[in-house]
Amino acid sequence: MSQVLSISNLKADVAGQEILKGLTLEVPQGEVHAIMGPNGSGKSTLAKVLAGHGDYEVTGGEVSMNGEDLLGMEIDERSRAGFFLAFQYPLEIPGVSIANFIRAARQARLGKGDELDAVAFYKEMYGKMDELKIDRSFTGRSVNEGFSGGEKKRLEILQMMMLEPKYAVLDETDSGLDIDALKIVADGVNAMRSPERGFLVITHYQRLLDYIVPDVVHVLYQGEIIKTGGKELALELEEKGYDWVIKEFEDQQVAVDV
Amino acid sequence: MSQDTATAAAVNIDQDAGDFRFPEDYAYDAGTGLSEKTVEYISGVKNEEKWILDFRKKALKIFEGKPLPTHWASKDLENIIFNDIRYYLAKGQQPTRSWDEVPDDVKETFERLGIPEKERKFLAGVEAQFDSEAAYSNVKVELEKEGVIFVNSTEGLREHPEIFRKWFGKVIPTGDNKYSALNSAVFSGGSFIYVPPGVKVKHPLQAYFRINAENFGQFERTLIIVDEGAEVTYMEGCTAPKFETATLHSAVVELVAMPHAKIQYITVQNWSANVFNLVTKRAVAYENAEVRWIDCNIGSRLTMKYPGVVMKGRKARGEVISIALANDGQHQDTGAKMVHAADETTSNVISKSISVGTGRSTYRGMVHIPKHLKGCRNNTECDALLINSNSRTDTYPAITVKGNQHVTQHEASVSQVSEEQIFYMKQRGLNEAEAMSLSVNGFVNDLVREFPMEYSVELKRLIDLEMENSVG
């Protein structure tokens, strides 16, 4: 079985408008891919479609995760099968403590009748919180309630670390982070890099990629991947903007049409 | 009539009804319908004194004369057919002090509900009522030596008339409402507790009310008197199997907190969806006494319950903390009544309701502070949580504060579990029921902390079950 997150000719609508128009890319396990692109190109839509958000309708294409049909699964099944999305705007859940939330998520991965070992769980979580410089007192706070932008993003990474996904999509995890928080988040992601895990890092800015160095960079424009390159592509985009890539793509299209 | 009716009932029983229940096998059965004969039958079985029979008969007249309160409450009340209900069912034996002597089916019922285990673990006394009468009743010997009385109300009336009669029907007069009158006519079972001056009962006393028979009405009557400076925590749990037809539960609970006494009354009820649960609960608190009602209403078809505290002595305190969960097709009509009748009295009402699917929650609160008093305080908070757009929630606060030497505060909020929150939780691997359950538990979390640990665990489990059912 191929150990890859494979997105093939994916098309998706929101409110009747087509946003993804035949997107194809592959993230093999062990690699970090970045998706960059101008505003409105469909970056966040891709993240939500992969997670199974109900507002988006898949109208064509396929997504498989290590050979399993991802689009055929419920939202929670995708998660338990090893798909993780770090949200751009994490939600508040009043009254539910971080510890209880993560614990419930871990419990959901156990078989019926199996109980999570609470002592081992806390030990593990405290260790990871220390890595992410999250104060241990946070375990008792309600999920994301009253958190700063940076705290929310660090909590996303903590959840990712605790759930150990096979593939993680980070949706603009760098937005709203100052440089110190960015480094901490990047360190967390880097610590998670492994031959058994793939990452898709969605970002608007090159800055994050200084810290999470990608193996491959894709440019998303109007719902399609229009260019793929190495990590140096990100630097080039930072320097020259997107216009040249778009132009290159449009010229190609014209050539094809002719 | 008893033996024949009991046999007939046992033959007609619907074995396909859901949940678990046992075939009916009753030595005493007042039959179907309500008349003076029914009242005489119940009183006769219990071998009651004449004043009690007279009390019952008078109550029946009051019940018959009172209209249904449908001008302010749910029209669903019209669907209770009083003549289709059986008012008294008993196996005809005295409650025992040993589980070994409890009839097998009854014992198994309570074992499946975990009662004997809880008793061993953390309770100071237990009473277990099966339909009309207690099957088991026990209180720790140490407490008995200190003069604590914890028996069922039938026994309380017989053995301790000097205390019972003094307070019986005084906190809640027969004519308080139609259902308190009904209870006064046909009451059976319930707890009678007396705690002597200065005795602080450390562990909770628990009563468990179980309905086993269909078309049955359970009318327990509880009276708790806590003497000067004494303290007690009482907990009641209620369940019934799922029946095809409506079942009625209509209790009357009276609490008396003498000066400096403290009473904490905790209810965790999980009625099945066909039970009409119409309960009158009220306490009187004398000087510097404190009464707390902690009330969790899960299940039932319609619950109407507004625990109250009449603060009669200076510095008396009353509190109602309530959690109501209205699932599909259910209506939780709950609230609180706080009557300030002395200076410097304080009341606190915190109500949280959850409406799921077509479930409906109503909060009714009455706070009364008359003009001639000084230094009274009331705080009322009611929060509602809606899960999906069909849900309905209403708040009817009636706060009458006269005079200008009081402090009152009222806050209300309505919030909703959003699709985005559910999506977020599902993305972490929780299914729909688990996600809803987590939100609901989060919403009531701060109140649940007020509970003894064992009960907060049970409440969480009940919420999980309800959410599982609501997702289907």
With pLDDT > 70 as the criterion, what percentage of chain B qualifies? 94
Q: Is B456 on the interface with A (CB under 8 A)?
A: no
Return the HEC string of chain B: CHHHHHHHHHHHCCCCCCCCCCCCCCCEECCECCCHHHHHHHHHHCCCCHHHHHHHHHHHHHHHHCCCCCCCCCHHHHHCCHHHCECCEECCCCCECCHHHCCHHHHHHHHHCCHHHHHHHHCCEEEEEECCEEEEEEECHHHHHCCCEEEEHHHHHHHCHHHHHHHCCCCCCHHHCHHHHHHHHHCCCCEEEEECCCCECCCCEEEEEECCCCCEEECCEEEEEECCCCEEEEEEEEECCCCCCCEEECCEEEEEECCCCEEEEEEEEEECCCEEEEEEEEEEECCCCEEEEEEEEEECCEEEECCEEEECCCCCEEEEEEEEEECCCCEEEEEEEEEECCCCCEEEEEEEEEEECCCEEEEEEEEEECCCCCCCEEEEEEEEEEECCCCEEEEEEEEEECCCCCEEEEEEEEEECCHHHHHHHHHCCCCHHHHHHHHHHHHHHHHHCCCCHHHHHHHHHHHHHHHHHHHC
Q: Is A159 on the interface with B (CB under 8 A)?
A: yes
Let me know if residue B138 belongs to a domain: no
Judged by CB atoms within 8 Å, which residues 178-207 of A form the interface with B? none
B7 — pLDDT class (breaks 50, 70, 90): very low
Query: What are the tens digits of pLDDT across the range B132-186?
Result: 887 787 888 888 899 999 998 888 999 999 999 999 999 999 999 999 999 999 9
B383 pLDDT higher than 80: yes
Residue B145: what pLDDT? 92
Residue A257: what pLDDT? 67
CB contact under 8 A, B427 and A163: no
- The partner residue sitting opposite A159, judged by closest CB among B428, B431, B434, is B428
B472 — pLDDT class (breaks 50, 70, 90): low
Query: What are the tens digits of pLDDT across the range A218-246?
Result: 999 999 999 999 999 999 998 998 999 99
B329-333: average pLDDT? 93
Query: What are the tens digits of pLDDT across the range A204-217?
Result: 888 899 999 999 99
Report the residue of chain A nearest B435, measured CA to CA: A104
Indicate the number of domains in chain A: 1
Q: Is A213 on the interface with B (CB under 8 A)?
A: no
With pLDDT > 90 as the criterion, what percentage of chain B qualifies? 54
Q: Which of residues B453 and B400 earns the better pLDDT score?
A: B400
Residue B142: what pLDDT? 86
**Residue B447 belongs to domain spanning:** 421-472
Whole-model pTM: value is 0.84
Query: What are the tens digits of pLDDT across the range B241-289?
Result: 777 677 899 999 999 999 999 999 999 888 888 899 999 999 999 999 9
- Of the candidate ranges A83-92, A177-186, B5-14, B455-464, the one whose mean pLDDT is the lowest: B5-14
CATH of the domain at A50: 3.40.50.300
Suggest the residue from A76, A103, A169 to mutate for an interface test with chain B (most B CBs closer than 10 A). Answer: A76
- Of the candidate ranges B14-28, B103-117, B124-138, the one whose mean pLDDT is the lowest: B14-28
- The partner residue sitting opposite B434, judged by closest CB among A53, A95, A108, is A108
Query: What are the tens digits of pLDDT across the range A13-54?
Result: 999 999 999 999 999 999 999 999 998 899 999 999 999 999
Residues from chain A contacting residue B423 (CB–CB below 8 Å): 51, 53-54, 75, 91
CB contact under 8 A, A75 and B439: no
Residue A1: what pLDDT? 54
Indicate the number of domains in chain B: 1
Q: Is B441 on the interface with A (CB under 8 A)?
A: yes
- Of the candidate ranges A237-241, B72-76, B92-96, the one whose mean pLDDT is the lowest: B92-96
Q: Is B248 on the interface with A (CB under 8 A)?
A: no
Let me know if residue B31 belongs to a domain: no
Residue B131: what pLDDT? 81
A194 pLDDT higher than 60: yes
CB contact under 8 A, B424 and A93: yes
CB contact under 8 A, A95 and B420: no
Is ipTM > 0.90 here? Answer: yes
Question: CA of A85 to nearest chain B CA: how many angstroms apart?
Answer: 7
Tokens of A29: 């396990």
B99-126: average pLDDT? 78
- Of the candidate ranges A9-23, B105-119, B220-234, B433-447, the one whose mean pLDDT is the lowest: B105-119
Let me know if residue B453 belongs to a domain: yes
Residues from chain B contacting residue A170 (CB–CB below 8 Å): none
B11 — pLDDT class (breaks 50, 70, 90): very low
Residues from chain B contacting residue A90 (CB–CB below 8 Å): 424
A2 pLDDT higher than 80: no
- Of the candidate ranges B65-74, B81-90, B335-344, B448-457, the one whose mean pLDDT is the lowest: B448-457
Suggest the residue from A83, A89, A96 to mutate for an interface test with chain B (most B CBs closer than 10 A). Answer: A96
CB contact under 8 A, A142 and B444: no
Q: Is B457 on the interface with A (CB under 8 A)?
A: no
- The partner residue sitting opposite B420, judged by closest CB among A52, A91, A159, is A91
A120-131: average pLDDT? 95
Let me know if residue B451 belongs to a domain: yes
B4 pLDDT higher than 80: no
Q: Is A111 on the interface with B (CB under 8 A)?
A: no
Residue B129: what pLDDT? 83
CB contact under 8 A, A79 and B428: yes
Residues from chain A contacting residue B432 (CB–CB below 8 Å): 76
**Residue A68 belongs to domain spanning:** 4-257
B17 pLDDT higher than 50: no
Residue B254: what pLDDT? 98
